Amino acid sequence: MKTKKWLGILSSVGLPLLFGVVIFVLWQTQVLHSWLGTDTITLPLPTRISEIISQNKDSIGSQVKMTLIVALGGLAAGSVMGYLIAVVASIFRKWGAGGLTIVSAFNAIPIVALAPVINNWTRDVSNDVSVRSTLAKIIVVTISCTAAMSVNAFRGLTELKPFSEDLMTSYAAPKIVVFTKLRLPNSLPYVFTALRVSVPASVIGALVTEYFAEDTVGVGRQIRENIVKGQYPTAWAYIATACAIGIGMYIILMLVERMVLKRRRA
């Protein structure tokens, strides 16, 4: 029986790994290029890409820092705001539900329409380009992250197990106690459901808004700049970095979720 279990684990990890190795080989040997009809300039070999990354570690690092500031800042601000909106909506239940549909509608607005608008609004905030650009970018990411959190947090604050509210009423618990002891802990899994959506969204948002910003910092912007300049290997280095950021943040999220929700997994 134990061998069956090990075989299962091995195939779960091994098969995709094998698939990845196959893709890597196809890429390196340029078979992939002939399929896609590209050349090694537009699609550099993986070895070349890793070369560039190790050569430019410092400058890549500083770009990553800028992107992370935007992504994490927007994520934090959006999550907090989203949660607060959910709390308000759960108190004023009737108006809250309608308000949430509006917030979800905001989510459907393409970032590309939002970014230039916000840029204009923040133009007079400061004379320093980097400050006002960063602010504009963070605002856009915040908006993208708010909706997911508010919708999910609202569900977490209001969809309680049957009779749990009645139990609290029977203890004559004041509303604030009901909130801290019942609604808040209940909403925690839902918060993580929202984060699973908003963490990747914050990364994407950060990268995309960098295209529209005044200053030319950030991993996303570098991707574009380098392509425009024809420096493809560098562009791909930044793409690999962007993927790494996305994957890395998601893994961190999964680890945090596992730690926080561990005791709940009955």
Partner 1 sequence: MTTAKKARKGPLPALKRFIHSKHMVTLVWILGIVVIWEIFACIVAATKRTPVNVLPHLYEIIGSFFSDKKVTGKMTMIELIGTACGETLSRAGIGFLTGIVLGYILALLMNLSRVVEKIAFPYLMIIQMIPILGMAPIILSITGDINSARVVIAAILTFYPVSTNVLAGFRSVEREKHELMYSYAANKFQLYTKTLIPACIPYFFTGLKISAPMAITASILVDTLQGGNGLGCMLSQSLKGGMTRLVFWDIVLISAIIGILSFVLMGLIERILCPYKRNKTSD
The residues of the shown chain that bind partner 1, judged by CB under 8 A, are 11-12, 15-16, 19, 36, 38, 42-43, 94-95, 97-99, 101-102, 104-105, 107-114, 116-117, 120-121, 123-124, 200, 203-204, 207-208, 211-212, 219-220, 223-224, 227, 232, 235-236, 239, 242-243, 245-247, 249-250
DSSP string, 27-94: HHTTHHHHHHT--TTTS--HHHHHHHHHHTHHHHHHHHHHHHHHHHHHHHHHHHHHHHHHHHHHHSHH
Inter-CA distances, 64 with 139, 202, 234, Å: 19, 14, 14
Residue among 60 and 223 whose Cβ is closer to partner 1: 223
Question: Which residue lies nearer to partner 1 by CB, 168 or 206?
Answer: 206
Reading the block at residue 123, the tokens are 């133009």
Query: For the stretch 235-261, what's the b/e string if a residue is b when 16 or more beta carbons lie within 10 angstroms of its beta carbon?
Result: bbbbbbbbeebbeebeeebeeebeeee
* Complex with partner 1: residue 173 or 189, whichever CB lies closer: 189
Measuring CA to CA, how many Å separate 122 from each of 67, 177, 212? Answer: 19, 40, 13
Question: By C-beta, is 19 or 171 nearer to partner 1?
Answer: 19
By beta-carbon proximity to partner 1, the closer residue of 112 and 256 is 112
What distance in Å separates the CA atoms of residue 151 and residue 123, rounded to the nearest whole number?
31
**Vertex 140, ends 58 and 228: CA angle to 5°?**
50
Using DSSP's 3-state secondary structure scheme, residue 114 falls into helix
Question: Shortest gap between Cβ of 263 and partner 1 (angstroms)?
Answer: 25
The least CB distance from residue 15 to partner 1, in Å, is 5
Q: Least Å distance between CB 74 and partner 1? A: 13
Q: CB of 180: closest distance to partner 1 in angstroms?
A: 28
Residue placing its CB nearer to partner 1 in the complex, 95 or 171:
95
Report the nearest approach of partner 1 to the CB of residue 163 (Å).
16
Nearer CB in complex with partner 1: 154/212? 212
Closest approach of Cβ 249 to partner 1, in Å?
A: 8
Describe the crossing of helices 46-55 and 2-28 by its angle, rounded to 10 degrees. Answer: 90
Q: How far is the CB of 37 from partner 1 (least distance, A)?
A: 8
Tokens of 118: 């916000």
